[in-house]
Structure formats: C-alpha cells, structure tokens
Amino acid sequence: MHGVSSSSSYTVDTELDKRRPLERLGDAVRRWRKLLLLVGLPTALLAFYLFAIASDQYESEAHFIVRASSESPSVGSGLGQILSLTGGLSPAQAESMSVSDYLSSHDAVGALRASAALVERFRRPEADPLSRLASDQPTAEALLRYYRRHVDVAFDSQTGITTLRVRTFRPEDSLVIITRLLALGEKRVNALNRRAYDDMLAVSRRQLVEAEEAVAKAQARMTRFRQGRRNFDPPASGEAQIRLVSNLTASLAAARAQLASMAGAVAPSSPQYVAMAARVRALEAQVGAQSGRLAGNGRTMASDLGAYEELRLRQDFAAKRYAASAAAVEKAREQAQKQQLFVVRVVEPNLAQKPLYPKRWTILATVFCGLLLLYGIGWLIAAGVKEHAA
C-alpha cells in the first residue's frame, strides 16, 4: 500500500510540475495582456512590414550654390555670413532660395512628369503597395504631396549651399531625377538672368529710343527751316551780308568824301558833281536796303539766324542726349553682365550603391519606445484613477 501511494504521489507531482510553467505563462500573459496588445502587437506588425514587405529605397544627393558673376567665393561667403547676422540675404542667396522653392513646386513636378516619366518611376513593380504612388494617373496635388515626401530641397542661409536629395526604388531613377532637377534649376537661373537683364536695360533702351526720336525731329525741323528760308547755312550767309554792308558803307564814305572835296572845286551843276552825287545817293540806298535786310523789321537775316541758332541748339542738345543714352545702355549692359547668376555644382549627384531607406531599426525602435511611453503614461493615469476611487 505504501508503494502504491508513493507512486501516485510522484505522478501527481510530475503533472503539477508540468502544469506550473504553463500556468505561469498564462498568468504572465493575463498580467501583461494589455502591454502585449497595445505595444507588442503593433511593434510586431510593424516589424513584419518593415523586414518582410517594405521596399528598399535608394537616395541620390547633390549640392549646388547660386553665385553672381562678379562675386568671388570668399567675398560671397563672408557677405552671406554678415547678411545672415543682420537678417538680410545677398541677391545670389535670395535667388538660391527662389530656385529651391521652384524645385519643390508644381512647375518642377510638371516638368519632371513630362520629361522624366516621374509617375512611372514612383510606381516601379518592386515598390510595396504602401510606399509606391497610389495611382497611375494622380492629380497634380497628390503627385506634389508624394514628390515632396521623396524629394528634399534644403537651403542653408549660412553657406548659401542648397542640398538636394531624391529617393526612389531604383538607384538609376534617383540619379535621373536629381540630374533633371539640377538641369531645371540651371534653366530657372538662366530665365532669371534673362528677365533681370531685360529689366535693367528696359529703362535705358526706352530713353535711347526717345533720344533717337528727338534727334530725328530736330533734324527734320532743321531741314524744313532751310527749305523754307532757301538758305543752307544762315551763319555763312549772315557773315557774307555783313561783309557786303561793310563794303558798301566803306564805298559810301569814300564817295561822300570825294563829293565833299569836289564841292569847292567844281560847280554843283557840273556833270562830274552830278554823277558823284548820284553815286552817293545810290550807295546810300544800297546801304539802307542791305542793312535793313540784315537787321530790320520783319523777316531779316538776323531773325533767320536767331531761329537757326535755336534749332541748332536743340539739335546739339538732342545729339548729346542721344550720346548719353547710348552710353547709359552700354553701362547698363555691362552692369547686367556683371550681375549674371550661374549655378555651381559643389557636389555632383551620385549613383546609390545600397539602399538607405527605410531605416528599419530606427523606425522600429522609435515606434516601440513611443508606444511604451504612451502605455506607461496610460498605466499611471489608470492607477491614479483607481487609487482615488478606492
């Protein structure tokens, strides 16, 4: 009887020993079921997706800077630092920011969609359903949202360098897109150059056109004046008239002197005296007529010369204005050429050798710690509520 009892007791103890680990495991599961449900299960599902489903993504990176033609590298960087301290940006840095904004805009996405098959590159067969672009005919807004998740454009105001990063499911796709983006950036800078060049020259060119019109009008007025007066060179004609009047006056003075000398020697009725007196009267008439033509009332050579001098003054002023406007155009052209912007590639785009995304362990650890933190906060709140209720 004693032997039978010992055997039965051993069997019961063995069964209890076998059942205790299962019971302890069940107790542990019941005790930590909320933790397993709220933290362990989501983490396990995320790990399954990351390591079994999520597609590899390859990143290409490039750096570039926008610089003016007249800006040296050392001076540009120092100026950028000074302006950054004072809250301002140099023109080149401002254009760099505009280029960075353009590369993240609808315009850049539309250009890539048309020229680089952007939608097809974001919908590769090897991409998992959660990572790839959802539709093969996405709206512009949906494509822009997806594009901004995979293309990062960062401008550093301290250095003026713009960093460009592109992630796709094939290394060749990333390289093609980033190369095309750099080309779009250079095209954008060239467009800004053309617009700035035209804007800087617009005012001076308009002034040059106005000066040309003024010169043409002055020349036309001068031509009409000469045709109306039938006098090509009024100053020369005036000088000739002055010489004529002077000669006639001298001849008149000589004739008067000769007539005066004859008055005491011959009779006034003598033919010599009468002829000389007639000569004096004729010379007096000529001097009066020619002097009146030179500077009398009405239309005279003096008035013609005054009008001519006014026209010539206006013509000279128009010519000087034209010369100044032409010089201003040339100066503006030189200044615009000095301020031309161009893209300098600091780091050329690379062909990725291995996938950098998704960062599986980083994502998994971050989610696990976040869920654990939320669970701990919820547990503390629940414990506090129970304690107050008790």
195 and 302 co-located in one domain: no
Q: Which amino acid is at 15?
A: E
85 and 181 co-located in one domain: yes
Written as six digits, the tokens of 383 are 């414990």
Q: Which domain holds residue 315?
A: 229-336
Please report which confidence band the pLDDT of residue 78 belongs to, taking 50, 70 and 90 as the band edges: very low
Weakest-pLDDT range from 99-108, 161-170, 319-328? 319-328
- In a domain, residue 276? The reply is yes
241 and 164 co-located in one domain: no
- In a domain, residue 239? The reply is yes
199 and 82 co-located in one domain: yes
Task: Calculate the dihedral angle through the C-alpha atoms of 69, 70, 72, 77, rounding to the nearest 10 degrees.
Answer: -90
* Whole-Å CA distances, 125 to 10, 120, 144, 298, 376: 63, 10, 21, 100, 41
85 and 130 co-located in one domain: yes
97 and 134 co-located in one domain: yes
193 and 342 co-located in one domain: yes
Model pLDDT for residues 190-212, shown as the tens digit of each residue: 888 888 778 777 888 888 888 88
CA 301, CA 292: separation in Å to the nearest integer? 9
185 and 318 co-located in one domain: no
- In a domain, residue 359? The reply is no
**CB 276 within 8 Å of CB 255:** yes
Question: What domain count does the chain have?
Answer: 2
Model pLDDT for residues 111-131, shown as the tens digit of each residue: 999 999 999 999 999 999 989
**CB 318 within 8 Å of CB 215:** yes
> SS in 3 state form for 285-354?
HHHHHHHHHHHCCCCCHHHHHHHHHHHHHHHHHHHHHHHHHHHHHHHHHHHHHHCCEEEEEEECCCCCCC
- In a domain, residue 198? The reply is yes
Q: What does pTM read for this prediction? A: 0.62
**CB 29 within 8 Å of CB 36:** yes
Nearest to 102, CA basis, from 192, 193, 185: 185
What 269-276 contacts at long range (C-beta under 8 Å, 24+ apart), as own/partner pairs, is none
- In a domain, residue 390? The reply is no
Most confident of 76-90, 295-309, 343-357: 343-357
183 and 242 co-located in one domain: no
Please report which confidence band the pLDDT of residue 79 belongs to, taking 50, 70 and 90 as the band edges: very low
Residues, the chain: 390
- In a domain, residue 307? The reply is yes
